[in-house]
Structure 1
């Protein structure tokens, strides 16, 4: 009886049912569209962070670089012998730590013991500046004039002016590249974790202090390096055993060495510049960050959320709009859609006074009348939900098909050394202005569709509750008064 009556009433009031369903559909479609675009923004932001920062861990621990003293400028100093008559090539390397102030290697164990930390690994970020070239010694020559005067000797010539140096000079080439010291005992976390070995092999646990190196694919291509060659840093030769290709589009490290070898090069025994940290629970990263900063003073903890704050440009603007304006707009439209559905349902009930009054006169209790109105409203809500999901999916597909291009500009987080990088070279490398174009997509998840279905049912229940309450208050006498 309930189903037959429900079907007949919906068929008889198609226009009213359609208006209510469309109102709910528009609100639900807007919610789906905003959620899908927000998800696309998040994916785009993750892609930017992965490509330009090489995220490979939950957070990093560093210490801000101390200001140089009066006797130390912090700049590399090169000294060459210019007294030789030969054109012999001279070369000098200067190895300096980057990524902030050095930390004691023992601090890695301290960080690992903090609550919520699953693992911690230390790394040393270096910057190598290589200057090579030669000096060419010039020759001193004096000029003479051949005047007719006999002054100055029987030859009649007279020396004039000062001797001049002809030729000579210097020709030097400057090359700078980054080096990362890797803890070979745990390579799943740290600078090399975001790269995969495409040629050769990676370090073994037995190569803790071996003179071996892994170079990035871009650096190997630029310098024509292969696994059969060696690389020399500060007069020390390292056998290239592997070439690493980063998972992201940009490598922040050129050369990887065992941590002890990197410490030896930089004269930084038992020191690291970056501690890579993974949390036991990805939802507790902020809590772990606060714990580390509280228990280990003077350190800077950088998370992916901190890096996300450095993203600017149209991507950041669109993300802010989708997060704030878009969500509030969708909430406002959804509330309006619920209110309109409730008012239309209540208005429809008012026009059915004779019907409900007669049903009560025939013995229908108020709860049965209320159930009938709520049932009709829920069906309207489900129809509106189906339409809203279809419209929302269409809008999301249109955004993905058009793929508007957004620009992301990344800068420094202001952390250790001003770099703020995670993964690759650690936070030590100076984050110069990086710009990236991202095509926006609008993926729709099953969670979003489930949310839309829930909202549709909720809208039907709200509208049905208001209409059912009004229908339950009607009396048989109201039906008689409505008869003309």
Structure 2
């Protein structure tokens, strides 16, 4: 009886039911869209952090570089033989550690022994500045001027006008700077190389700790026209390219990856690292692990993903803020308005059905049956609105993904002054100079769909409760007055 009556009444009031359902659908669609875009923002931010930290890396341990002493120069210097002939080409490499101050390799083991740490790996970040070119020696010439009468010591009348002058000569040098990361070849799953995927050739083996081999990034290989098997030199040390790697997202801060032991020799940093990459046993206890490391290993800076996330700026940060604050508050406002409109329309529809409900009560219907009837109709309207809202919201989310607007992200300093990224620049150094472009997506999760269904049921219950309460207060006498 209930189902038959419900179907008949909804069929009689199609327009009113559609208006209520559309109002709820718009609010639910907006909630789905905002939640999906917010999830896309979170994914985009995770891509930024993974491109800097590496997959599975929860935090990094570094040490701030000390300020140079008075009179000292931390800049590169190059020495050339200025007396070389004009045909001589000269080249010099300056290899320096970059990022934070060097740490002892023994600290890697000490960090790994801390409570809550699953694994720790050290890496050495280097910057290589290569200067090559040639000098051209000038030639000394004396300038003379002629006269109509012969001068002293100058046959034919020529006279000397001064000291010999050097004409021509100079120097033409090219400066090329690139980054090198020393990788622990026995633990490549954590550290700078973990953000890369070798697409050509192969990666290091655990036996290549002292081998003069290198994996280069795809962009650097393209710039230098390197292929697997190509060779190049760093400070007269010859390396063979064994693999070309592509970053998991955006561009890599590091151009060349070499075994850690070889990098320490090149950078005159024996048994030293610049960054320690740490993976926690429990991702929910990262802040606790950070306090543990900071307390037990003095003088170091521990930077977590959360610290780095707070420094992300650019259009990604702006869009994320809008989606988080303005978008969610707007969704709440629209939902509240949709629920109120649905409740008012339902209550208004009950007022127009005085004769109907009064007659039903006169025939013996208890108030609870009348209330159940109104709530049932409202629930159906809510579910219809939920279905429409889910369809609209999913469509809007897929439209955002299809358009894929590009967002930019820059990572500024966390205040630690130390490197944390795979290129050694980290949040305080090189990472702040790197701009990443991320394609925005709006994934719709099952949680979001469940939220939409919950909102649809809630909207139906609110509207039904208000309408049912009003219907339950009607008396059979109201129907008789309506007939009169």
| Same fold, TM-score > 0.5, yes or no | yes
Supply the distance in 2 between the matched residues of 1:435 and 1:182 (Cα, whole angstroms).
24
1:66-465 superposed matches below 5 A: 66-84=66-84, 87-147=87-147, 148-152=149-153, 157-289=158-290, 291-401=292-402, 403=403, 405-415=405-415, 422-425=421-424, 427=426, 430-431=430-431, 433-435=433-435, 440-465=440-465
| CA apart distance, 1:480 | 4.8
Judging changes above 3 Å, is the alpha-carbon distance between structure 1 residues 139 and 325 closer, same or farther for their aligned structure 2 residues?
same
Question: Partner of 1:471 in structure 2?
Answer: 471
| CA apart distance, 1:141 | 2.7
158-167 vs 278-287, which moves further: 278-287
Supply the distance in 1 between the matched residues of 2:239 and 2:111 (Cα, whole angstroms).
32
| CA apart distance, 1:187 | 0.4
Kept after mapping to 2: 8 A contact 1:413/1:419:
no
SS at match of 2:226: coil
| CA apart distance, 1:350 | 3.5
Alpha-carbon deviations, 1:433-479, whole Å to 9, x = none? 55566554433333222211111011111222223333334444554
250-259 vs 225-234, which moves further: 225-234
Supply the distance in 2 between the matched residues of 1:284 and 1:455 (Cα, whole angstroms).
33
Q: State the superposition RMSD in angstroms.
A: 3.1
Structure 2: runs of 5 or more not aligned: none
Kept after mapping to 2: 8 A contact 1:418/1:431:
no
| CA apart distance, 1:426 | 5.4
Question: Partner of 2:59 in structure 1?
Answer: 59
Supply the distance in 1 between the matched residues of 2:86 and 2:399 (Cα, whole angstroms).
71
- TM (norm. structure 2) is 0.87
Kept after mapping to 2: 8 A contact 1:306/1:413:
no
| CA apart distance, 1:48 | 5.4
Judging changes above 3 Å, is the alpha-carbon distance between structure 1 residues 225 and 318 closer, same or farther for their aligned structure 2 residues?
closer
| CA apart distance, 1:191 | 1.3
| CA apart distance, 1:285 | 4.2
Alpha-carbon deviations, 1:90-111, whole Å to 9, x = none? 3322111111111222222333
Structure 1: runs of 5 or more not aligned: none
Which segments of structure 1 move beyond 6 Å, counting only runs of 4 or more? none
Judging changes above 3 Å, is the alpha-carbon distance between structure 1 residues 418 and 128 closer, same or farther for their aligned structure 2 residues?
same
SS at match of 2:430: coil
Alpha-carbon deviations, 1:26-68, whole Å to 9, x = none? 21122122223333444444555666x4743333332222211
Supply the distance in 2 between the matched residues of 1:241 and 1:149 (Cα, whole angstroms).
75
Alpha-carbon deviations, 1:148-175, whole Å to 9, x = none? 2442377755433011123333333322
Kept after mapping to 2: 8 A contact 1:192/1:424:
no
SS at match of 2:452: helix
Supply the distance in 2 between the matched residues of 1:86 and 1:313 (Cα, whole angstroms).
50
Supply the distance in 1 between the matched residues of 2:417 and 2:277 (Cα, whole angstroms).
16
SS at match of 1:124: strand
The number of residues matched between the two structures is: 481
| CA apart distance, 1:354 | 4.2
| CA apart distance, 1:393 | 3.0
Question: Partner of 2:38 in structure 1?
Answer: 38
356-365 vs 255-264, which moves further: 356-365
Judging changes above 3 Å, is the alpha-carbon distance between structure 1 residues 285 and 84 closer, same or farther for their aligned structure 2 residues?
same
Kept after mapping to 1: 8 A contact 2:251/2:436:
no
- TM (norm. structure 1) is 0.87
Judging changes above 3 Å, is the alpha-carbon distance between structure 1 residues 342 and 297 closer, same or farther for their aligned structure 2 residues?
farther
Supply the distance in 2 between the matched residues of 1:412 and 1:465 (Cα, whole angstroms).
52
Kept after mapping to 2: 8 A contact 1:405/1:437:
no
